[in-house]
Amino acid sequence: MTPPTSPHRLQLAGITKRYPGVVANNGVSLTVQPGEIHAVLGENGAGKSTLMKIIYGAVKPDEGSVLFNGRPVHIRNPQEARALGISMVFQHFSLFDTLTVAENVWLGLDKSLSLAEVTASITAKAAEYGLDVDPARPVHTLSVGEMQRVEIIRALLTSPQLLILDEPTSVLTPQAVDKLFVVLRQLAAEGCSILYISHKLHEIRALCTACTVLRGGQVTGVCDPRQESNASLSRLMIGAEPPALTPRPSRAGAPVLEVAGLSLASEDPFGTALERIALTVRAGEVVGIAGVSGNGQGELLMALSGEDRRAPAGSVRVAGQDVVRLGPGRRRALGLHFVPEERLGRGAVPTMSLAHNLLLSRRDAVGPLGWLRVGALKRQAADIIARYQVKANGPDAAAKSLSGGNLQKFIVGREIEAKPHLLIVSQPTWGVDVGAAAQIRGEILALRDAGCAVLVVSEELEELFEISDRLHVIAKGRLSPSLDRAEASIERIGEWMSGLWDDASANHKKKETAHAAA
């Protein structure tokens, strides 16, 4: 006798979702087995996040059917999804800033549990999976990477049968990614099914056992990613391989950004104090800063952008001028442009159109007496949309209507097209597809070659190695000495992420001395 087969964990058939001006999903069918780690792959705007929100009950489909564990279901909201055993970690986090980590997690769990019990569960789960989280911290004090950990822990505490992860490693270090993969493989071995969205092709090939490819809202292929190469997955996803970067040696000129003796106590009791930061970025070079999220990156960037003006006099200079007391607008007038890691709410006003979002960093569209040159704004926005291949319903589209990757392309394009003398970018390719990531990195290098000084803060080590001329590491509010890219290695940078560069440098010198003596 043939043994009975267990039902599919999830079956989607003919899922269609339309929005004004765009069809996000068009007749999508997808099957996920129990214990399977199933990738959903596609370029920005392909419909991946919309499809996941339909499964999670956050979006209602216009057509199609959903079966969960072999039974037809109509999931009307996330609460019903969680009751079925479906949890989701969003790319754009769904956390309340004014509540603590424990209170945010408590909102999505069984209310029979006390806050103290939830706090204990968070601490235990964080220790079990190596995700460093303090349950007592208010969410507004967390970095993006720390918020990611909260979302993952919140999902794990529901003991899901189906776990949806939308770009879960976009702000995690390689070491944290390895730990997360151990967790996910363990969950799959216990029967949990995982839907995994990522633009990192090497991750999908290493982790996933099945893959559905979306392009333009439709399924264009199903494959076993373990049998594919990065090149073949790229062709399935975007129809071509991303162009290879051909970096040229930099021609560093005069210093544009000079930071010396920057020590700054954190205004937030959970923040990280900066200690004697020293940093120079010259015209015509890209300087990268690596580090685990929450080690002072946010505090440093706010001091550089002008959002925090408490730094000691003379500790931050742009083009030779002390800018410590200058706000963001006056620093922008000196040629400093900034791309923050938070897209919505800081990099862009969610409800404003793309054209009007240009006003955040451009003043050339403001005429006499403060009248806006709306036509000029729309033309500039249209140019950015075309050049950076942003999928949007024109310059009048609200920022919040774009997918995360497309909004990132627009924000980066907005700042690059402003022709900065100094560009500071945090997480430049967070959540964008391989083609768009290659384009953004190419534009950064082109800006460098045109004489701009560029400072990139990223948790993507491969990205930093690809575009940086020199590298620093930030750990516990301290900045390492700089390393030429040729001298840097993944192992060395990983070691420095623990703040051990003093010991590492001493050991390196000892080895060199011993070698010379021999």
So what's the pLDDT on residue 170? 66
Q: What is the pLDDT of residues 322-341, one digit of tens each?
A: 999 999 999 999 999 999 98
Mean pLDDT over residues 501-518, rounded? 51
Give 480-485's long-range contacts (Cβ < 8 A, gap of 24+). Answer: 481/505, 482/287
C-alpha atoms less than 13 angstroms from C-alpha of 176 in its C-beta half-sphere: 24
pLDDT at 375 over 80: yes
411 touches 347 (CB < 8 A): yes
User: CB of 212 within 8 A of CB of 51?
Assistant: no
The tokens describing 452, both together, are 């701009």
296: pLDDT confidence band, cut at 50, 70 and 90?
A: very high
Residue 193: the pLDDT is 97
Q: In the predicted model, what is the mean pLDDT of the chain?
A: 88
Residue holding tokens 């633009």?
199
What is the pLDDT, as a whole number, of residue 173?
A: 63
pLDDT band at 515 (very low <50, low <70, confident <90, very high): very low
pLDDT score at 372: 86
3-state class (DSSP) for residue 240: coil
Lowest-confidence range among 211-220, 223-232, 427-436?
427-436
Provide DSSP, 321-370.
EE-TT--HHHHHHTTEEEE-S-TBTTTB-TTSBHHHHGGGT--TTB-GGG
CATH of domain 10-238: 3.40.50.300
Question: Distance (Å, rounded) from C-alpha 462 to C-alpha 145?
Answer: 17
Q: Name the least confident of 90-104, 196-210, 410-424.
A: 90-104
Rounded Cα distance between 212 and 30, Å, is 7
Same fold, 10-238 and 255-335+420-513: yes
Q: Give the C-alpha separation, 433 to 199, whole Å.
A: 5
Architecture of domain 255-335+420-513: 3-Layer(aba) Sandwich (3.40)
* Contact between 255 and 281 (Cβ < 8 Å): yes
* Ranges assigned E (strand) in 429-497: 453-457, 470-475, 478-479, 483-484
**Which pTM value belongs to this model?**
0.72
Average pLDDT over residues 218-246: 84
Query: pLDDT tens digit string along 393-438?
Result: 999 999 999 888 889 999 999 999 999 999 999 999 887 878 888 8
Delimit the domains of the chain by residue range. 10-238, 255-335+420-513
